[in-house]
């Protein structure tokens, strides 16, 4: 495949080429692990590293599986019975491909966002993160066929992995997002994966309740505060679980990136769902004792992203992508901390 070199941003089609490669692959592998490649390559292209996209994909390719088989088409009549069934991933992706081909993508997103939002915890929050990357690309550039297809894949994965959380007991909260995250009680039993631990989260501090946040603009500012606080917190708490704690920041940031494409009426419930996701991940994986983060020193955001690319791990790339949205010293320290804690992508140089 012929590609065009691009060192400043993806305006030449490299991202489209990469997405076309990836749409022959399924959203997961081994029945439970997420395909992170679409999110990682979008982040690379967004930060001026499009020239590395195909080489990174070549290295990541061993983690991809073939696109799953379809079972029965999802329709406007039968979709409730298919919601949350991971065996129907291909059916759901096909449904959203048809919907987006027939209607404006923003219209489809606005219709399905409130249906999917209560179940953003399935797939370890990866489906909403994938949607956030797809929406960022569509808002920033042309609505090309591969980018529209990527949104369909993200929404379809979300619908297939849709999972509700149990009724959570409202616990005493705090005035700031950082203090509220500090107040999250950890789950006692730490064995098992994300689904098992999520089932043990029974209560979370009140911070972003819809009774106290009612205006869209306030919801946007609160969500921005949450992303900043969760990213900063990784610098001091990421050692609790270097991979899973990334999602405490990247999941709410995916929601934040999607807000401009949504009607304002959906912003307040989006804040509530994002807070629940970030707080739940914190409850499941945060360590008992924080550490002091090392200041990043005289390093630019661009240099930090280059270090993340050199490391190659998909979660490091995605956390660094979120950290650069914030851009302050603690956020850059969090990105560098993820590089320090995480295993690099095998055979990547």
Domain boundaries, the chain: 14-160, 165-349
Chain length of the chain: 349
pLDDT for the residue 297: 86
pLDDT of 294 strictly over 90: no
Helix, strand, coil percent content, the chain, rounded in steps of 5: 60, 5, 35
Strands, E, within 143-272: which ranges? 169-171, 203-205
**pTM for the predicted model, two decimal places:** 0.95
Beta-sheet strands, E only, within the chain: 28-29, 33-34, 169-171, 203-205
CA–CA gap between residue 170 and residue 342 (Å, rounded): 34
> What token pair was written down for 297?
């020193």
In this prediction, residue 212 has a pLDDT band, given cuts at 50, 70 and 90, of: confident
Q: What's the confidence (pLDDT) of residue 130? A: 98
Distance from C-alpha of 122 to C-alpha of 7, rounded to nearest angstrom: 35
Q: For 169, which DSSP code? A: E
Does pLDDT of 8 surpass 50? no
Helix (H) or strand (E) holding 68: none
DSSP string, 174-192: -SSHHHHHHTPPPPS---S
Neighbouring residues of 121: CB distance < 8 A, sequence distance ≥ 6: 163, 164, 165, 198, 276, 277, 280
Phi-psi region of 302 (alpha: psi -120 to 50; beta: other; left: phi over 0): alpha
10 Å CB burial of residue 318 (0-12, 13-18, 19+) is buried
Lowest-confidence range among 87-96, 287-296, 300-309?
287-296
pLDDT digits (tens, 9 = 90+) for 301-324: 999 999 999 999 999 999 999 999
pLDDT for res 167: 85
Specify the range with the lowest mean pLDDT, choosing from 182-196, 205-219, 297-311.
Answer: 205-219
Q: In this predicted model, which residue has the larger pLDDT, 314 or 31?
A: 314
Residue 349's pLDDT is 62
- Rounded Cα gap, residues 14 and 20, in angstroms: 10
Q: Write the pLDDT tens digit of every residue in 256-267.
A: 999 999 999 999
Q: What pLDDT, on a 0 to 100 scale, did the predictor assign at position 12?
A: 60
Q: How far apart are CA 119 and CA 125, in angstroms?
A: 9
Percent of the chain scored above 90 by pLDDT?
A: 87
């Amino acid at each position: 495949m012929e590609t065009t070199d691009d060192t400043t941003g993806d305006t030449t089609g490299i991202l489209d080429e990469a997405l076309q490669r990836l749409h022959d692959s399924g959203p997961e592998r081994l029945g439970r692990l997420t395909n992170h490649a679409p999110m990682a390559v979008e982040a690379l292209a967004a930060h001026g590293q499009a020239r590395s996209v195909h080489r990174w994909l070549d290295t990541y390719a061993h983690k991809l599986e073939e696109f799953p088989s379809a079972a029965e088409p999802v329709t406007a009549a039968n979709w409730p019975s298919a919601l949350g069934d991971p065996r129907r991933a291909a059916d759901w992706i096909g449904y959203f491909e048809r919907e987006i081909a027939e209607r404006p993508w923003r219209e489809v997103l606005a219709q399905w966002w409130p249906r999917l939002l209560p179940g953003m915890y399935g797939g370890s929050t990866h489906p909403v993160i994938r949607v956030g990357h797809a929406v960022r690309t569509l808002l920033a550039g042309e609505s090309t066929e591969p980018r529209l297809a990527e949104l369909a894949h993200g929404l379809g994965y979300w619908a297939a992995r849709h999972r509700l959380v149990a009724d959570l007991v409202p616990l005493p909260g705090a005035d700031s997002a950082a203090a509220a995250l500090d107040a999250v009680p950890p789950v006692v039993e730490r064995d098992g994966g994300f689904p098992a631990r999520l089932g043990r989260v029974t209560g979370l501090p009140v911070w972003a309740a819809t009774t106290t946040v009612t205006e869209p603009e306030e919801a946007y500012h609160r969500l921005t505060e949450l992303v900043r606080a969760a990213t900063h917190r990784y610098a001091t708490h990421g050692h609790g679980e270097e991979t899973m704690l990334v999602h405490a920041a990247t999941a709410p940031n995916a929601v934040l990136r999607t807000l401009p494409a949504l009607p304002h009426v959906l912003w307040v419930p989006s804040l509530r769902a994002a807070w629940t996701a970030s707080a739940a991940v914190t409850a499941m994986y945060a360590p008992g004792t924080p550490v002091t983060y090392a200041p990043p020193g005289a390093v630019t955001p661009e240099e930090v992203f280059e270090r993340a690319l050199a490391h190659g791990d998909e979660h490091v790339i995605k956390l660094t992508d979120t950290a650069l949205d914030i851009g302050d010293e603690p956020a850059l320290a969090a990105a560098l901390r993820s590089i320090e804690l995480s295993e690099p992508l095998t055979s990547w140089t």
